[in-house]
C-alpha cells in the first residue's frame, strides 16, 4: 500500500521570541502542493525570499541549525523541522517575519500543537522515502562522536549523550517509530550548563532566553548572591539548585529528557534531507554539526546511487 504525501488543512500561526536575537515575531505554517517540500519564507525582507529546508542550505550549526541563501537566513530551525517530521508533514510553506524561530519552551511541543490544530490532508502524490540499503558510519574522534545508520523498514533512533559531568553523565533515549514523537519526544526541552549560560549572557547571545525554555544544569557550588543575580537577570523569584544539580526553575518531564531532546534535534536536522528516512540510527554524542555532516554523507550516497 502506497503512502500519500501530506500538507496542512489550513494555515496556523505561532507568536514568540527568538532565543538568541530576542526579537518578537510570528511564524505561520501554510499548506503547500505536492513535491513542494518544506520551505521558509522571510516575509519581513524585501522580495520575501524563500529558503528551501535542505541540507545544502545549512550555513551554520553554532548553537542551532541555521539555513540561508543569498543573504537571507533563518536561525534555530531544528525544533520546527522535527515537529513537521513528527507529524508526517511532507509539504509546507513556513512564513516568518523575523530571522529566528520562536523558542517557546525550548521543545517542539507548541509546534506539534499548532500542526494538530491546522489538521493534515493527503495530496495526490506518493510519498518518497530515503531507503537505506547499506551501512553508513560517521565519526568525529576528537569529540568522541559516532553515528551510524543501518537498513530498516522504518525510521528509528537510539541516541546516547555523555557530558562526562557529575550532574549530566551518560543518558540514552530510544524512539522505535516516528508515531512516538508527539508524546514521548516533542515535549523535551533544550538544556544548558550554567557556565555556558553565563558565557552566552555576557556575549549578548540569548536575548530571548529565560528560565522557562531551558533545563539548566549546575556543576559547581554557587554563592547565594550569584543565584540571586541569576534570578534578577531572568526576572524570577529566588532560584536554587536541586540535589540532582538542576536549577529549580522547572521539573523534568523524563529522567532522560536531555537525551530525548538530542534525539529531537537529530530528527529535525536529518529532515533537511528533504524526505523521510527508512533506517535505524545509533548515535553517540551527536550535535548539530555532526547531524548535518552525517546528513550530507547520506545525501552524497543517494546522489551516487541515482547516477549509477
pLDDT average, residue stretch 78-101: 97
pLDDT band (50, 70, 90) for residue 112 = very high
Q: Lowest mean pLDDT: which of 18-27, 37-46, 174-183?
A: 18-27
Q: What is the pLDDT of residue 233?
A: 64
Residue 27 · residue 75 · CB < 8 Å = no
Interatomic CA distance for residues 132 and 155, integer angstroms: 10
**Segment 131-148 mean pLDDT:** 97
pLDDT tops 90 at residue 241: no
CA distance 294 to 277: 13
Cα atoms found within 13 Å of the Cα of residue 169, Cβ hemisphere only: 2
pTM, entire model: 0.92
Please report which confidence band the pLDDT of residue 211 belongs to, taking 50, 70 and 90 as the band edges.
low
Based on the residue annotation, tell me whether 20 is a catalytic residue of this protein: no
* Domains identified in the chain and CATH numbers: 4-131+260-307 (3.30.230.20)
**What span, in angstroms and rounded, lies between the C-alpha atoms of 244 and 156?**
30
How far is residue 35's CA from residue 96's CA, in Å, rounded to a whole number? 21
* CB neighbours of residue 62 within 10 Å: 11
Q: Who contacts 53 (Cβ-Cβ below 8 Å, separation ≥6)? A: 37, 38, 39, 40, 67, 77, 81, 271, 272, 274
φ and ψ of 291, to 5 deg:
-60, -45
Regarding predicted confidence, which is higher, 203 or 37? 37
- Say which of 20, 195, 288, 289 is annotated catalytic: 288
Between 94 and 301, residue with greater pLDDT? 94
Name 242's bridge partners: none
Q: How many CB atoms lie within 10 A of CB 158?
A: 17
Q: What 8-state DSSP symbol labels residue 182?
A: I
Q: Round to whole Å and give the CA distance between 282 and 37.
A: 26
Confidence of residue 198 (pLDDT cuts 50, 70, 90): low
> Residue 263: is its pLDDT beyond 80?
yes
Confidence class of residue 9 from pLDDT cuts 50, 70 and 90?
very high
State mean pLDDT over 29-48.
Answer: 98
Express each pLDDT in 170-189 by its tens digit: 999 999 999 999 999 999 99
Nine-digit cell at 19? 532565543
Instruction: State the average pLDDT over residues 232-261.
Output: 80
Confidence grade of residue 205 (pLDDT, cut at 50, 70, 90): low
Give residue-wise pLDDT tens across range 268-283: 999 999 999 999 999 9
Of the pLDDT bands very low, low, confident and very high (cuts 50, 70, 90), residue 31 is: very high
Q: How many helices (H) and strands (E) does the chain have?
A: 6, 18
Average pLDDT score over the chain: 90
How many other CB atoms are found less than 10 A from the CB of residue 101?
A: 26
Please state, in angstroms and rounded to a whole number, the distance separating the CA atoms of residues 304 and 300.
6
- Mind listing the pLDDT tens digit for each residue in 214-227? 788 887 777 777 77
Amino acid at each position: 500500500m502506497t503512502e500519500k504525501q501530506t500538507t496542512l488543512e489550513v494555515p496556523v500561526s505561532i507568536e514568540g521570541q527568538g532565543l538568541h536575537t530576542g526579537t518578537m515575531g510570528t511564524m505561520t505554517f501554510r499548506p503547500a502542493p505536492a513535491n513542494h517540500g518544506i520551505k521558509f519564507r522571510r516575509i519581513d525582507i524585501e522580495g520575501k525570499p524563500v529558503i528551501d529546508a535542505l541540507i545544502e542550505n545549512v550555513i551554520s550549526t553554532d548553537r542551532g541549525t541555521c539555513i540561508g541563501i543569498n543573504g537571507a537566513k533563518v536561525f534555530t530551525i531544528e525544533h520546527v523541522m522535527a515537529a513537521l517530521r513528527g507529524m508526517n508533514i511532507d509539504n509546507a510553506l513556513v512564513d516568518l517575519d523575523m530571522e529566528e524561530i520562536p523558542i517557546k519552551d525550548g521543545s517542539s511541543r507548541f509546534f506539534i500543537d499548532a500542526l494538530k490544530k491546522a489538521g493534515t490532508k493527503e495530496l495526490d502524490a506518493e510519498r518518497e522515502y530515503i531507503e537505506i540499503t547499506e551501512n553508513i558510519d560517521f565519526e568525529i574522534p576528537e569529540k568522541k562522536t559516532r553515528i551510524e545508520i543501518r537498513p530498516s523498514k522504518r525510521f528509528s533512533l537510539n541516541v546516547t549523550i555523555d557530558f562526562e559531568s557529575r550532574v549530566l553523565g551518560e543518558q540514552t533515549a530510544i524512539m522505535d517509530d516516528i508515531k512516538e514523537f508527539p508524546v514521548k519526544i516533542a515535549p523535551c526541552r533544550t538544556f544548558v550548563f550554567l557556565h555556558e549560560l553565563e558565557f552566552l549572557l555576557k556575549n549578548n547571545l540569548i536575548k530571548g532566553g529565560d528560565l522557562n525554555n531551558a533545563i539548566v544544569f549546575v556543576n559547581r557550588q554557587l554563592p547565594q548572591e550569584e543565584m540571586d543575580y541569576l534570578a534578577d537577570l531572568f526576572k524570577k523569584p529566588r532560584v536554587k539548585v536541586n540535589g540532582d544539580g538542576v536549577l529549580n526553575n522547572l521539573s523534568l518531564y523524563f529522567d532522560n529528557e536531555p537525551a530525548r531532546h538530542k534525539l529531537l534535534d537529530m530528527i529535525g536536522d536529518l529532515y533537511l534531507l528533504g524526505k523521510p528516512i527508512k533506517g535505524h540510527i545509533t548515535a553517540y554524542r551527536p550535535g548539530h554539526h555532526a547531524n548535518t555532516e552525517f546528513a550530507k554523507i547520506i545525501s552524497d550516497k543517494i546522489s551516487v546511487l541515482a547516477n549509477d
